Amino acid sequence: MTAPGVAAPTGLERQPPRLMLARPILTMRGVARRYGDVQALAGVDVTVYPGEVLGIVGESGSGKSTLLRMMNLEDTPDAGTYHLALAGREPAGPDGRNLFTLDRFQRRMLRAIHIGIVYQNPHLGLRMGHTSSGNVAERLLIAGNRNFAELRQRAREALEASEFPVARMDARPNTLSGGMQQRVQLAKAIALEPAVLLLDEPTTGLDVSVQALVLDTLKRLQRDRAITMVLVSHDLGVIRTMADRVMVMRCGEVVEEGLADQIFQDPQHEYTQQLVHAKL
Ligand SMILES: Nc1ncnc2c1ncn2[C@@H]1O[C@H](COP(=O)(O)OP(=O)(O)OP(=O)(O)O)[C@@H](O)[C@H]1O
């Protein structure tokens, strides 16, 4: 029986970290990017292990979104390397190559098949004039699936997994609520079971109650499918709810990195201490 005052388990509590036993799935080294006078990234290293949620936190302008864009191969850095472990996945990824050296077509294919992304702004991730199911199916089409009934069924399954109300799967995203739009983005992102799911402020701008529901969906997906996630947020509450490990960024650099519990309970860097104490 649950003790008085203690919330009954929902099954979505954070599990003990499933970390660092396996080979990393994502490795970046020395990633640097300058825009004019701004050094957006100043030689950043990132390691992500299979099945974990890496949270990236930092103040506005610290380089979080730039780093995520690099992971999604949307931008090319001035320096650095990027590897994804895609062994055993079909179609096979470029073996051992620095992904930053791929040409535009190769990048597009890799991104379409092996990397999922949910943007804060759904206009970046969805075609507002297409149906929600069509948005998800488009992703499956890229992977070579041409059977209409099958495409529709798989799109439906991805929408269901994202806890989207499938009765509305033929509605256009611009007729849906913000929370539903994020669920369509999520369905599109997970439809092909990506090696890594990138989340750029996925719940920022949603009502608090909707935010909590979308985070619950993400946690459920993470628990049931062990999806590897990289979550960028300026909201420490979101990071604390979701992340196994946390990377703290400031002015294009990683100032601290560690297990989420350690970062929140015993932050070492002065900047992290300020962030954590400002939140408490
Ligand atoms: N395409 C671009 N052109 C010029 N400057 C850019 C570009 N992208 C990012 N920057 C600059 O790089 C720095 C890092 O930006 P970035 O968006 O990565 O930060 P962030 O931590 O994600 O901030 P926010 O939480 O406000 O989104 C900022 O100073 C930003 O103005």
Q: Is residue 97 part of a domain?
A: no
* Secondary structure element (H or E) that encloses residue 246, with its range: strand 245-250
Q: Which domain holds residue 162?
A: 52-72+103-279
- Average pLDDT over the chain, rounded to an integer: 89
Q: Is residue 30 part of a domain?
A: no
Q: 81-107, pLDDT tens digit by residue?
A: 999 988 666 555 566 789 999 999 999
Q: Is residue 42 part of a domain?
A: no
Quickly state the pLDDT bin for 217 (edges 50, 70, 90). very high
Q: 225-245, pLDDT tens digit by residue?
A: 999 999 999 899 999 999 999
Q: Note the pTM of the prediction, 2 decimals.
A: 0.90
Residue 42: φ, ψ to 5°? -120, 55
Q: For residue 3, is pLDDT > 80? A: no
Given ligand 1 and candidates 39, 56, 57, 66, which is best to mutate, with the most ligand atoms within 8 Å of its CB? 66
Q: Is residue 34 part of a domain?
A: no
pLDDT at 115: 95
- Of 44, 75, 48, 70, the closest CA to residue 58 belongs to 44
% the chain with pLDDT above 90: 76
2 CB less than 6 Å from ligand 1?
no
pLDDT at 114: 92
Instruction: Count other C-beta atoms under 10 Å from residue 145's C-beta.
Output: 15
CATH number, position 251: 3.40.50.300
Structural domains in the chain (count): 1
Distance 177 CA to ligand 1 centre (A): 27
Q: Is residue 193 part of a domain?
A: yes
Question: How distant, in Å, are the alpha carbons of 28, 223, 236 from that of 57?
Answer: 17, 22, 7
CA 116/CA 130 separation, integer angstroms: 19
- Of 76, 110, 115, the closest CA to residue 92 belongs to 110
Distance 234 CA to ligand 1 centre (A): 13
Q: Is residue 88 part of a domain?
A: no
Given ligand 1 and candidates 56, 64, 231, 254, which is best to mutate, with the most ligand atoms within 8 Å of its CB? 64
Cβ-Cβ contacts under 8 Å for 8 (sequence gap 6 or more): 2
Q: For residue 193, is pLDDT > 60? A: yes
Q: 117-128, pLDDT tens digit by residue?
A: 999 999 999 999
pLDDT at 48: 96
* CB-based contact 248:255 (threshold 8 Å): yes
Mean pLDDT of the 188-196 span: 94
Report the Cα 265 to chain-centroid distance in Å.
Answer: 24
Question: For ligand 1, what atom is nearest to the CA of residue 252?
Answer: 14
